[in-house]
Amino acid sequence: MAGAARTYLDHNATSPLRPRARDAMLAVLDAAGNPSSVHAEGRAARAVVETARESVAALVGARPADVTFTSGGTEAIVTALTGAVEVAGEGLRFDRLLVGATEHACVLAGGRFPAGSVERLPVDGNGIIDPDALRDRLAVLQAEGVRAMVAVQAANNETGVIQPIADLAERVHAAGGVLVCDAVQAPGRMAFALADAGADAVVLSAHKLGGPLGAGALVTTSRLRIKAPLLTGGGQERGARAGTENVAAIAGFGAAAAAVRDGGEAERARLAGLRDAFETGLRARRPQAVVFGAGVARLANTSLVAIPGDPAETALIRLDLAGLAVSSGSACSSGKVRRSHVLEAMGVDEDLSRCAIRVSFGWNSTETDVTACLEAFAKAPDALSERPGRAAA
Ligand code: PLP
C-alpha cells in the first residue's frame, strides 16, 4: 500500500500488519485443518486458535475462556450490546443503553437495542463523560424502574482522549448496571487492563494493533454472559459465536497482541515522543494550530489538530499528494467530509471542526515520519499563516 516515498500516519484507522503477525498468518495459510475437526490437522488448527486466545487474553489481563473471537470490533460491539444478559448467574433484562456521545458509530448505533432505547451521554469540552453526571442519570432511571447497560470507549479514535473508565464503572455497578468498554484504540497506546478498567466486557480489534483486518474479540469478565449469540448455527467459540474460525486472522491477532505486550511502556513512551515532536513542530510552523484534547490524558499515538481556515476536505488531498496518509477527524463518506460528531459533542466551533486532521503513529513510525509529516503540513497555502482564524470556506 504505502510505497517508499509515502508516510503512513493513520494507525487509528488501520495499523499496518506487523511482520510477526504476517509470519504467524503465513504459517497457518499453508496448513489444512478446521479447528473443530478431531484429526491431527484439526487439532493443530485448534492449537493455533487457543494460543492466540491466550495471547489476546493476556493483553488485557483476562481469562482465555472469556475471550470470544469475532470478525472485528464492530461485530464484538453488536454482540455485547444486547438487552438479554446474565450477570453473576442471574438472567437480567436491560431496557436502556447509555452510550457516550463521542463513541464510534458502531456503538452509537446501539447494537441489538431498539433505536428508541439508546440514549447519548453528554461530554465536556475535551470529550470526557462526567462520572457524577452518569451516576445522577442512572439514579433517575433506577427510580423509574429502568435498568441500563452503559457503553463507553477507553479512548476516542479521533482525539485520543481517554475516558475515566474505572470511575464510570464504579457508578454503573453501584446502580446495578453493566459497562461495556470499547477498547479498540487502547492496546499499545495507553495502559489498559480489564481489572483496572472495571468494565464487564471489553472489545478489541486486530487491525488497530498491527494484526489483520477482519478479526476482533469480545472479552467478558466471568460476571457477564451474553445469553443470545449474534451468530447462531454452530457450536464454535463455546456456543458464543457460530461459524468456522478465521484461523489465519486469529493467529495474526494473537501474534500482534504478543508484540504489543512485548513493546510495553517503552513503546508507548516512544510513540508519545513522536506525537509530541509532531505537535511541537507544527505549533512552531503554524502558531495558530489547535490541538484537541491537549490538556487531558490522551493516547500516546494520537494527535487531532486543526489549522483554522484550512478545511480538511482540501488539506487531506494536498497532504496525500505530498505523500502523507492521514485522516480527517470527521467521517468521510463518498469523498465528502462531514462534520465530526465527536467535535460537535465537545462543542467545538463548526468551522474549526471542519479543519480537523488526525495524525496517528504506530509500531513502524519513526522520527523520519515526523519530519516528512511536518514538511507536508508546511506545504499549506501561505495565505493561511497570514489569516489566522479565517472561517472555513
Ligand atoms: N471502535 C472504535 C473506537 C474504532 O476506532 C473502530 C474502528 O475504527 C471500531 C470500534 C470498529 O472496529 P472494526 O473496524 O474492527 O470493526
Pairwise CA distance, residues 60 & 67, whole Å: 10
Model pLDDT, residue 339: 85
The C-alpha torsion from 330 through 345 and 129 to 85, rounded to 10°, is -70
Q: Give the 3-state secondary structure of 2-39.
A: CCCCCEECECCCCCCCCHHHHHHHHHHHCCCCCCCCCC
Testing ligand 1's pocket by substitution, the residue of 208, 213, 333 carrying the most ligand atoms inside 8 A of its CB is 208
Contact 310, 355 (CB under 8 A): yes
Contact 25, 249 (CB under 8 A): yes
pLDDT averages per 10-residue partition of the chain, 393 residues? 76 98 96 95 98 98 97 98 94 96 97 96 98 97 96 98 98 96 98 96 98 98 92 94 97 98 98 98 95 97 96 94 88 63 96 96 98 91 49 29
Pairwise CA distance, residues 219 & 163, whole Å: 19
Pairwise CA distance, residues 234 & 245, whole Å: 11
163 lines ligand 1 (CB under 6 A): no
Show the cell assigned to 233. 448455527
Atom number of ligand 1 nearest to Cα 75: 16
Separation of 163 CA from ligand 1 center, angstroms?
16
Q: Which residue has its alpha carbon closest to ligand 1 atom 13?
A: 73
Q: Could you tell me the CA-to-CA distances from 251 to 46, 68, 117, 216, 345 in Å, in that order?
A: 11, 14, 37, 11, 38
Cα 266 from chain centre:
21
Model pLDDT, residue 382: 57
Model pLDDT, residue 4: 52
184 lines ligand 1 (CB under 6 A): yes
205 lines ligand 1 (CB under 6 A): yes
Model pLDDT, residue 379: 82
Model pLDDT, residue 393: 27
Give the global pTM: 0.95
Model pLDDT, residue 329: 65
Model pLDDT, residue 333: 47
Separation of 233 CA from ligand 1 center, angstroms?
26
Pairwise CA distance, residues 103 & 121, whole Å: 10
73 lines ligand 1 (CB under 6 A): yes
Separation of 160 CA from ligand 1 center, angstroms?
13
Separation of 286 CA from ligand 1 center, angstroms?
31
Residues known to be catalytic: 332
104 lines ligand 1 (CB under 6 A): yes
